[in-house]
């Protein structure tokens, strides 16, 4: 149970970009909690990405700004430099994950114990997961494989989210309505993930605020970070 409740909602957003600040204002407005997965080796770098033929900013905050930006939410790992972990040697996998975790722990002022796999499910495998499980201080790690259900999972090092907001908008809202209607006899988790810069592609900030408004403020739901919900 989640502080006496059978239902929990949690969010996870990747890359540590400046759009996170606007997203945090939304989450704070509606009393929602998020885990932000950051590449500590890329902090302070400017940049942009082309997504769906649209150029969007992909700018990283400076290390000295990170603690204040993410206050009230959770800082978690995303490796030092965002490589495809399955292409690396064992030594490099552990270094990318554990050094990122330690740097972020110093920045955050608390021990970082979570992460999201850079590149998602397609850039990791069972061997990568086993190294993270046995050779690092990571206690949970998120993939990009949507389950479209709310059941608890046994393996937190290969934790699959419920839904990816950006490419599954209809599923996001339909699953939200389904989750709200549940009166479960066993604990259930609604886990939403994405990248904050994706809201800039089609100007979807208001659409996402509509979802935040829908899912928030319910007395039977615990709203927590990944760490608060999973551990």
What is the band of 57 on the pLDDT scale with cuts at 50, 70, 90?
A: very high
CATH for 178: 3.20.20.370
**pLDDT exceeds 90 at position 86:** yes
Is residue 2 a part of any domain in this protein? no
Number of other CB atoms surrounding residue 4 within 10 Å: 7
| Mean pLDDT value across residues 171-180 | 98
Predicted pLDDT of residue 36: 99
- Single out the residue of 153, 150, 151 nearest to residue 142, CA to CA: 153
Is residue 26 a part of any domain in this protein? yes
Inter-residue contact 46 to 5 (CB < 8 Å): no
Domain count across the chain: 1
Average pLDDT, the chain: 98
| Mean pLDDT value across residues 19-37 | 98
Is residue 1 a part of any domain in this protein? no
**pLDDT exceeds 90 at position 211:** yes
**pLDDT exceeds 90 at position 42:** yes
| Mean pLDDT value across residues 86-92 | 98
- Give the SS3 label for residue 103: helix
Predicted pLDDT of residue 202: 96
Inter-residue contact 171 to 165 (CB < 8 Å): no
What is the band of 56 on the pLDDT scale with cuts at 50, 70, 90?
A: very high
| Mean pLDDT value across residues 126-150 | 98
Predicted pLDDT of residue 1: 86
CA atoms in the 13 A half-sphere facing the CB of 162: 25
Q: Residue 68's domain spans which residues?
A: 7-230
How do beta strands 114-116 and 188-194 pair?
unpaired
Is residue 104 a part of any domain in this protein? yes
**pLDDT exceeds 90 at position 27:** yes
Predicted pLDDT of residue 2: 97
| Sequence-distant contacts of 40-46: CB under 8 A, at least 24 apart | 40/77, 40/80, 40/99, 40/100, 40/103, 40/104, 40/107, 41/79, 41/80, 41/81, 41/99, 41/100, 41/103, 42/16, 42/80, 42/81, 42/82, 43/16
């Amino acid at each position: 149970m989640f502080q006496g409740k059978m239902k929990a909602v949690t969010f996870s957003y990747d890359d540590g970009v400046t759009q996170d600040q606007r997203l945090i204002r939304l989450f704070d407005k509606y009393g929602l909690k998020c885990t932000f997965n950051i590449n500590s080796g890329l902090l302070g770098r400017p940049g942009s990405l082309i997504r769906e033929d649209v150029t969007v900013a992909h700018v990283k905050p400076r290390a000295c700004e990170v603690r204040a930006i993410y206050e009230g939410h959770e800082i978690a790992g995303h490796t030092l430099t965002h490589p495809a972990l399955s292409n690396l040697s064992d030594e490099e996998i552990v270094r990318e994950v554990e050094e990122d975790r330690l740097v972020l722990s110093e920045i955050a002022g608390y021990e970082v114990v979570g992460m999201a796999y850079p590149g998602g499910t397609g850039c990791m495998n069972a061997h990568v997961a086993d190294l993270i499980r046995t050779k690092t201080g990571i206690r949970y790690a998120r993939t990009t494989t949507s389950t479209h259900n709310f059941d608890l999972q046994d393996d937190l090092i290969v934790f699959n989210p419920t839904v990816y907001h950006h490419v599954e908008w209809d599923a996001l809202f339909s699953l939200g309505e389904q989750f709200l209607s549940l009166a479960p006899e066993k604990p259930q988790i609604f886990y939403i993930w994405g990248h904050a810069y994706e809201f800039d592609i089609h100007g979807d900030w208001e659409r996402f605020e509509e979802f935040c408004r829908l899912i928030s403020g319910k007395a039977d739901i615990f709203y927590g970070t990944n760490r608060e919900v999973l551990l």
